Amino acid sequence: MIDLHTHTIFSDGLLVPSELVRRAADRGYRAIALTDHADHSNYDFIIPRIVNVCSALSAVLSMHVIPGIELTHLHPSSIKGLTEDARELGARIVVVHGETLVEPVLAGTNKAAILAGADILAHPGLITRKDADMAAEKGICLEISARKGHSLTNGHVVNMARLSGAMLVLNTDAHAPDDLLPRKSALRVAAGAGLSEDEIEIMFGNSELLCDKAKLG
C-alpha cells in the first residue's frame, strides 16, 4: 500500500509522525506521505519539521516516508504561489484540498490546483469534465478517497477520469490510526468506486510513479 495523503498532530491528525508511520508499516505500507493541512499561517512551520522527521524515519525503516503538505481552503488565487513556496521548503508531494461536497470549498479551487501543478487534487467532488481534461493534460492525479464524506463522489470522479484519461490515485486521508488501510481494504474502496481490476492496478501504479518522483526530487 502506498498512501500519499495523511495527517499528523501538525494539523488535525491524532498521532505524532513516528507513530503514524509505525502503524502504517504494521499494516503493510511500503510508502506514506505526511501531508498536513496548511495555509499562509503555518506552511513554513510545518514543512521543515515534516522534512526532518521524514528523513529520520526513512533512514531507519524499510518504507519510504515522504514530506508533503495539503493546501487547504485557500482562495484559488493563492494556490499557485503557495504550491511553489511549499516545494521550495521541501514538500515532495503537494496535495490541494479539492471541492468536496462536505465542506464549503470555494468554487474554482479544483481548476486553480490543476493550473498550479499540484501533484494530487484531493477529493475533487463533482469535478467538471473540463477540469478533468485539464488534469489529464497536465498529469495531475485525481484522488479516490477512503475518507467518510469525501468518498461520496468517488464514482463521479472515476467517470470523469475515464472520459478524460486523467490519472487516479487512492488515498486514505488518514487522521487517526483506524483510518490507515491494508491493501485488501483499499481494494474494496476502489471496487466500490466502480473501478475494474485492471483500472485498480493502473491506479496503484500511479501512486508508484508519484512515489518514485518524490524520491528523485
Per-residue pLDDT reduced to its tens digit, 59-99: 999 999 999 999 999 999 999 999 999 999 999 999 999 99
Angle at 107 between CA 214 and CA 32, to 5 degrees: 20
Rounded to two decimals, the pTM is: 0.97
Sign of the alpha-carbon torsion through 155, 120, 133, 106: positive
Rounded CA gap, 93 and 207, in Å? 11
The mean pLDDT value of the chain amounts to 97
Give the confidence band of 27 by pLDDT, cuts at 50, 70, 90. very high
> Among residues 175, 167, 90, which one has the least CA distance to residue 135?
167
Residue showing cell 464524506? 149
What are the pLDDT digits (tens) for 130-176?
Answer: 999 999 999 999 999 999 999 999 999 999 999 999 999 999 999 99
CATH of 2-216, one of 3.30.70.870, 3.30.2010.10, 3.20.20.140, 1.10.3720.10: 3.20.20.140
